[in-house]
Structure 1
Amino acid sequence: MLANFAHEMKPHLSHRRSADRLLWLVAGLPMAILALLLLALLWAAPAHAAGETVCAGRNLLPDLQREKPDRYAAMLAESEATPNGKSRFWKIEKPGLAPSWLLGTMHVTDTRVLTLSDAARKASSEADVIVIESDEILDEKKAAAALMMQPELTMFTDGTTISDRLTPEEKLKLEAGLKERGIPLAAVNRMKPWIIASVVSMPACEMARKATGASFLDKKLAEDAKAAGKRVAGLETLAEQISAMADLPLDFHLKALIETLSLNDEMDDIIETMTELYLSGDIGMTMPMLEAVTPETSGEQDSGYAAFEKRIVLDRNKVMAERSAALLADGNAFIAVGALHLPGEEGLVELLRKQGFSVSAVD
């Protein structure tokens, strides 16, 4: 999932748990890719639970505060130490230019997320250009066709399947998780594990809404801009986004898939908690929360996490900042990217400041 909901933990926090792989995947992977692949590549007609559009997840923070106060306090402290973690909407200024704007998004169709603040709504309606992660999401069928020209990014092309890489018990868990979403294992058996992990981590309600054509926030902003005759620009291609995931070791993705399956219905609660943090503007609390609410494990390799952080988060932050420069040079641009790309010392807010812009929180 999700998300694409981009944003990085501090480098000195070297000890990680296995669930971090899964949760970084959920937080960082652009949901646009998932919708594209699922709708364009899997389903001629959606087969999963029709009409299931109300999510049942609950906010985990009250229980955490009550039952594990020390962990909750550590989460708050880490959040407070995260640079630029207190807002999802920012104003970008430089002398001689009309102000531009930066909105952190969640790549979901939740109506609460789709409802912009008054300031963000005004800025987007008056902007000359709307900038999103990839403008290719405006034509999913065309983008899917282009991706099919590079099948090695999303599929096993050596004649093997995901089932060949799982134990019998893991395969049964995967079949059950997919069945809940109306997807037979055979439909995805040749897909790479990170795609399948994203499928089973996404709440069924979100899958149902997307299958009926509901737009997630980034896509809705682009669609509204196009309908108004505005220019829409993208900072990355979908192939670049998928290549970033495909560059990571297969073992890393297989472990993330198994960990996703082990969480079962807990993912709904995690996504709801992330959503409420997003709505309150506490973006910097997202990763500390994910660490606090997931079970601890041992014997994990920090190298896999570090590779994920660099390739999926930090590298993409730099690309987004560099490609934003030309769009910001004209002023009055409205940039909307996954909210988790914004905080941190190497987040988009700081990178834009290094380009000479003044970037200040709006709400």
Structure 2
Amino acid sequence: MIVISKPQSLTSLLMGRMGNALLWLFASMHLAALAVLLATLLSLTDANAATQETACPGKNLLVDMQQSDKAGYDAIVEEAAKVPNGQGTFWKIEKDGVEPSWLLGTMHLSDPRVLEMPQGAPEAFAKATTVIVESDEITDEKQAAAALLAKPELMMFLDGTSMTDMLSKEDAATLERGLKERGIPLAAVAKMKPWILSSFVALPACEYARKASGASFLDMKLAKDAVAQGKKLVGLETLLEQITALSELPMSFHVQSLVEMLRLGARMDDMMTTMIDLYQDGQVGMIMPMMKHLDASENSDEGYAAFEQRVIDDRNHVMAKGATPHLEKGNVFMAVGALHLPGEVGVIELLRKSGFTLTAVNEW
């Protein structure tokens, strides 16, 4: 447990202790496969302990930084200002000769703060004839999870290895306590690989509780509504492809991430709150600079580079290429994780290179 003493700020205590845990929290908020898999795995466990929790605590770390580390905060703002298309979550897509289309950045959370779409987005969705999401498999969670679980080598150690073999006794005990708080016995999941166990501990108890009770995230609701309303639903990648991308990162990365999250405990709530606040303010270009600033670990640059390349940049190209033929016809509503939008190789820039004009709908 981290105890905050008066002379130290919350931010200073977190700096240097978050490391890869930040990347994993990011992944849990932006990979639909994790949201679907977590909800399904929860249905197989006794999650009564988690469903007791409804409040969503947490402090915005950037608010704290403005008082305790003004120079650090200013550095984050300065770096974020250099990120192309870093402001705005809702964009208009135009091309001569076709009706406009729309692009919405999302978080794969059931938190009420991110379920409400920006002004104009509900109307754009209602009018659209085609809806694009990361994976159309999210309309049937059980079937999607079955497809993931059909690849046990991605989920489980098949050689007799146990997760506890990779942890110190102290960290193993912490993992056991953390899982027990969520109604999950360690013995039942000890053979699972760290990226699966991380999905149990990455999210705050309030989000965990909502998923345990069957709450949907925005992308899932949009996909189901599209089917119900007779719209054409298009998926850009499979959930298996998403999990595969995550599993291809080094095992050491995942083990370190799991350990860091276990040690942070409830402090992950602060990271979650900070990300959600930035998302609501349309400041998606500030999220990665903020994460990097808080990560003072020795291997942070290498870890972030590998993560950004495989989990973000590579998938950006897949998304832009897959969406282009549908956008060429117009009247599309596209919803993907918000962190895929900004940057030099973000979806927005890639679509511009394909001949589309993209404009932020809301001013920031």
Please give the TM-score of this superposition, normalised by the length of structure 2: 0.90
Bigger mean CA deviation after superposition, 181-190 or 246-255 = 181-190
Residue 70 (structure 2) pairs with residue 69 (structure 1): yes
Measure, in 1, the Cα distance between the counterparts of 2:17 and 2:58: 22
Matched with 1:307 is: 306
1:47: Cα distance to partner? 3.0
Q: Would the alpha carbon gap of residues 18 and 272 (structure 1) be closer, same or farther in structure 2, given more than 3 Å must change? A: closer
How far the C-alpha of 1:18 sits from its partner, in A, is 7.3
SS at match of 1:214: coil
Do the aligned partners of 1:28 and 1:313 also contact (CA within 8 Å) in 2?
no
Percent identity between the two aligned chains: 53
Distance 1:202 1:166 in 2: 21
Q: C-alpha separation between the residues in 1 aligned to 2:295 and 2:141?
A: 37
**Corresponding residue of 2:6:** none
Q: TM-score, normalised by structure 1?
A: 0.91
Deviations 1:215-261 (A, max 9, x none): 11111111222222222211110010011011111111111111111
In structure 2, the CA distance between the partners of 1:276 and 1:305, relative to structure 1 (3 Å rule), is: closer
Query: Given the alignment of the two structures, is residue 123 of structure 1 paired with residue 114 of structure 2, yes or no?
Result: no
d(CA) in 2 for partners of 1:118 and 1:208?
Answer: 29
Structure 2 partner of 1:344: 343
Residues in 2 aligned to 1:349 and 1:297: alpha-carbon distance in whole angstroms: 31
Secondary structure of the corresponding residue to residue 233 of structure 1: strand
* Matched residue, 2:32: 32
Please state how far the C-alpha of 1:35 moved relative to its aligned partner: 3.2
Question: Alpha carbons of 1:28 and 1:37: their partners in 2 closer, same or farther (altered >3 Å)?
Answer: closer
Shift of 1:57: 1.3
Distance 1:343 1:17 in 2: 26
After TM superposition, give the deviation of residue 177 of structure 1 in Å.
Answer: 1.8
Distance of 1:110 and 1:77 partners within structure 2 = 29
Aligned equivalent of 1:325: 324
CA distance in 2, matches of 1:201, 1:139: 24
8 Å CA contact 1:48, 1:183 repeated in 2 = no
Answer yes or no: is the 8 Å Cα contact 2:124–2:333 preserved in 1: yes
Within a 5 Å distance, the mapping from 1:185-196 to structure 2 comes to 185-196=186-197
Moved over 4 A (4+): none
After superposition, the Cα gap between the structure-2 partners of 1:38 and 1:186, relative to the gap in structure 1 and judged at 3 Å, is farther
CA contact (8 A) 1:22 1:260 kept: yes
Structure 2 CA distance for partners of 1:97 and 1:114, relative to 1, 3 Å: same
User: What does residue 12 of structure 2 align with?
Assistant: none
SS state at 1:265 partner: helix
- State the match for 2:266 in structure 1: 265
Measure the CA separation in 2 of the matches of 1:104 and 1:242: 20
CA shift for structure 1 position 129: 1.2
Q: Secondary structure at the match of 1:349?
A: helix
User: What secondary structure sits across from 2:237 in the alignment?
Assistant: coil
Question: Structure 1 residues 304, 56: closer, same or farther in 2, change over 3 A?
Answer: closer
- CA RMSD of superposed structures (Å): 1.8
Residues 50 and 208 of structure 2 are in contact (CA less than 8 Å); yes or no, is this contact kept in structure 1? no
Residues 90-239 of structure 1: pairs in structure 2 closer than 5 A:
90-239=91-240
For the 8 Å contact 1:79–1:288, the answer to whether it is kept is yes
In structure 2, distance between residues paired with 1:335 and 1:239: 20
Q: How many residues align?
A: 346
- Counterpart position of 2:333: 334
Alignment match, 1:354? 353
Distance 1:279 1:188 in 2: 35
Taking a change above 3 Å as real, the CA distance of residues 276 and 304 of structure 1, as seen in their structure-2 partners, is closer
Residue 49 (structure 1) aligns with: 50
Q: Which residue of 1 aligns with 2:21?
A: 22
Question: What's the secondary structure of 2:48's corresponding residue?
Answer: coil
The offset of 1:341, in angstroms, is: 0.6
Structure 2 counterpart SS, 1:359: strand
